[in-house]
Amino acid sequence: LNKMPIYAALGVPEVWLYKGKKVEFYKLYGEFYQETENSVALPFLDSRTATEFLQKGLRESSSEWFKQVREWAKT
C-alpha cells in the first residue's frame, strides 16, 4: 500500500523512509512528494548521516549510540 498520497492529503510536510539500505527524505510539494538530500525539519541532517546513525543504532548499545548522536549534534 502506497501511503504517500495519504500523508500528502493530511498535509504531512516531510516523510522519512528507510528501505533497508538508505534513509530517504521526501518533502511535500503541493500534492506530491519529492526526494530531498536534507531533512526539512532538521536541515543540517543529510541522508548519508541519517543512514549512518540508523545503522550504528542497530549495531551498538543505545547508550553509546545516544552519546555519538549528542556529540555530532554539538558540532
Helix (H, G, I), strand (E, B) or coil at 37: coil
Task: For the chain, give the mean pLDDT.
Answer: 93
Q: According to the model, what pLDDT value does residue 20 have?
A: 85
Q: According to the model, what pLDDT value does residue 11 have?
A: 97
**Interatomic CA distance for residues 73 and 75, integer angstroms:** 5
Q: According to the model, what pLDDT value does residue 1 have?
A: 81
Q: According to the model, what pLDDT value does residue 19 have?
A: 85
CA atoms within 13 A on the CB side of 6: 3
Tens of pLDDT, residues 21-55:
999 999 999 999 999 999 999 999 999 999 999 99
Give pTM, 2 decimals: 0.85
